[in-house]
């Protein structure tokens, strides 16, 4: 897609000074954990992750507003604290002991701005947008808004990248979304251009067996691997637990290898392309 075809995105203004950060974090694919491990082991894994996230919330001067099943809703004094808590949560949970070959993964979304506090709970547009960011995130991802990134110190802004623009219920304009890069990785990435009509947003159709996924504004990323919490579960023993990720960034889709053995891509009429993380 050329620059002349790109859709103009109106981005929210940065939250005002003193704006708080609302963060949602939950266990990705918890139903699959129960299926793979049984009730006792799955609940133990989930409880360990939730406990770790509660401790991290307090460490960053936040508080847990509520627990909804296997999801936490937390409040932090500003965007920076929300950012640091989110990256710590991912790092700590990712390091927890694997049970019977199954690794738990969490997904996080946060947004900074004003809220209404009432009887220990919080309400308002900031809460709704934060929940939308969590809904966009996949396992091992942190998603936030460009407005929140703009409110971060420069050193932290460098650890983010723009992903897409998405619609949020109740808002006339789409919001620019960013991913927080919390892993130090040398992942090898292959970009594929997407040609689309000016009237249509870029979308990618992914087939795996009987499954079909549409990547676009509503689902900007797809995680593939042997782990039960992945979007696409690969039965091949040569596949890694989190083997690869496909994600939308503006008008292009990227395939990123995260595996031990590499990923191979075949495009009709062209030589096979090998991606391998070093």
Could you state, in order of their start, the residue ranges of all structural domains in the chain?
20-180, 186-275
CATH architecture classification, 186-275 = Sandwich (2.60)
The H or E element containing residue 165 is strand 160-166
C-beta of residue 60 within 8 angstroms of C-beta of residue 81: yes
Residue 209 has pLDDT above 60, yes or no: yes
Question: Band of the pLDDT at 277, cuts 50, 70, 90?
Answer: low
Fold of 20-180: Alpha-Beta Plaits (3.30.70)
Phi-psi region of 113 (alpha: psi -120 to 50; beta: other; left: phi over 0): left
Would you place residue 101 in the very low, low, confident or very high pLDDT band (cuts 50, 70, 90)?
confident
Residues 122-145 have pLDDT tens digits of 999 999 999 999 999 999 999 999
Cα 195 from chain centre = 25
pTM: 0.62
3-state class of 171 per DSSP?
Answer: coil
Written as six digits, the tokens of 107 are 């997904």
Helices (H) and strands (E) in the chain, counts: 6, 18
């Amino acid at each position: 897609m050329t620059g002349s075809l790109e859709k103009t995105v109106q981005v929210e203004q940065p939250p005002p000074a003193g704006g708080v950060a609302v963060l949602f974090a939950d266990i990705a694919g918890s139903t699959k954990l129960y299926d793979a491990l049984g009730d006792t082991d799955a609940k133990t894994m989930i409880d360990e992750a939730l406990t770790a996230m509660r401790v991290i919330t307090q460490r960053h001067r936040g508080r847990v507003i509520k627990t909804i099943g296997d999801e936490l809703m937390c409040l932090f004094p500003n965007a920076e604290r929300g950012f640091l808590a989110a990256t710590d949560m991912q790092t700590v949970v990712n390091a927890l002991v694997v049970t019977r070959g199954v690794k738990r993964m969490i997904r996080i979304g946060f947004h900074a701005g004003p809220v209404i506090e009432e009887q220990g709970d919080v309400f308002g547009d900031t809460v709704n947008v934060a929940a939308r960011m969590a809904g966009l995130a996949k396992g091992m991802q942190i998603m936030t808004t460009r407005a929140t990134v703009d409110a971060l110190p420069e050193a932290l802004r460098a650890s983010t990248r723009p992903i897409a623009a998405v619609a949020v219920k109740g808002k006339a304009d789409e919001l620019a979304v960013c991913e927080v890069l919390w892993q130090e990785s040398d992942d090898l990435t292959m970009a594929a251009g997407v040609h689309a009509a000016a009237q249509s947003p870029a979308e990618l159709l992914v087939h795996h067996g009987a499954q079909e996924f549409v990547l676009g504004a509503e689902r900007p990323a797809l995680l593939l691997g042997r782990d039960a919490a992945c979007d696409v579960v690969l039965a091949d023993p040569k596949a890694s637990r989190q083997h690869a990720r496909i994600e939308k960034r503006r008008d292009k889709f990227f395939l990123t290898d995260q595996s031990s053995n590499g990923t191979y891509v075949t495009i009709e009429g062209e030589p096979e392309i090998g991606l391998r993380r070093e």
